[in-house]
Chains A and B, each alone.
Chain A
Amino acid sequence: MPDLIAKSALAGHAPLVRAGTRLAECAAAPITSIAPYPGRAAQVDAALAPLGLSFPAPNGQSASGTARLLWAGRDMAFLIGAETPAALADHASLTDQTDGWAILGLSGPLAEAALMRPVPLDLRLAAFPVGRTARAPLNHMQAILTRTDDQAFEVMVFRSMARTAWAELTEALAVLEARAKLS
């Protein structure tokens, strides 16, 4: 067996800055999907309690230190940045997703406007506050969006679409940068 070298989905893509807005790949963290079995909500929350987390409501997340639990669909959440508590396996279906997703960070004054081009959601701060998470299309890609700060978003897409997502966001930033230069 030869030695295999782990590569991130966007290895080789240096962070991109357009008009003060930065697009960069976020560090790969362990990602585990948690799908509670029917009627086990209380047990799942009890198993998550040692991490300081609870199962998130739709469009929300639970965070504690570097561990985050993002809502990822009906009866599904993604645990990011923490190992899964062993007690959880009795009450939920757990799947390692670490290599299946690419995480892009978009931050800066144009982040909101750039993301609203490929995403058909109102992402303004009043409608999509810090900590909000949504499953939504990024053009044709099934994405998970999270607002991490007033001017920062995290975009998760399937790993196979990482470069496409990068290209779409780069194009949106280029258009907005060109427009900003005219005014």
Chain B
Amino acid sequence: MRLTCPLCGARDRREFTYYGAEDYLNRPAPDAPPQAWDDYLHNRDNPAGVTRDLWYHDMGCSSWLLVTRNTVTHEILAVEAVADRKGGAA
């Protein structure tokens, strides 16, 4: 498995650390109902197919990456830097 880091280029999987689902990017508002916080903290989908999750390029450029991949075919569909997204760290 290889991920194409937007900065470093195509790199081996061993350079990256898996963090978790994309849900971590969507933090509820402080006054959101308990159900929203429950979903954010604990409830995760486990799809057979396309999923989006967060990876850290710890052996490379130290970027947080949002990876779109297919859990059935193991295909990597997209890799984008979290910092480059709207509202990211710029």
A: residues with CB less than 8 A from B are 38-39, 58-59, 73-74, 76, 120-121, 134-137, 142
Contact = CB atoms under 8 A, between A and B. Distances in A.
Interface in B9-63: 9, 11-12, 14-15, 58-63
Contacts of A135: 8, 59-62
Nearest to A57: B7
A36 to B, nearest CB: 11
Interface residues on B, range: 10 to 19
B54 to A, nearest CB: 15
Interface of B: 7-9, 11-12, 14-15, 58-63, 81, 83, 89-90
A74 B14 contact: no
Contact of A73 (B11, B15, B61, B89): B61
A146 to B, nearest CB: 14
24 contacts: A38-B90, A58-B61, A59-B7, A59-B8, A59-B9, A73-B60, A73-B61, A73-B62, A74-B62, A74-B81, A76-B62, A120-B12, A120-B14, A120-B15, A134-B8, A135-B59, A135-B62, A136-B15, A136-B60, A137-B14, A137-B15, A137-B59, A142-B58, A142-B59
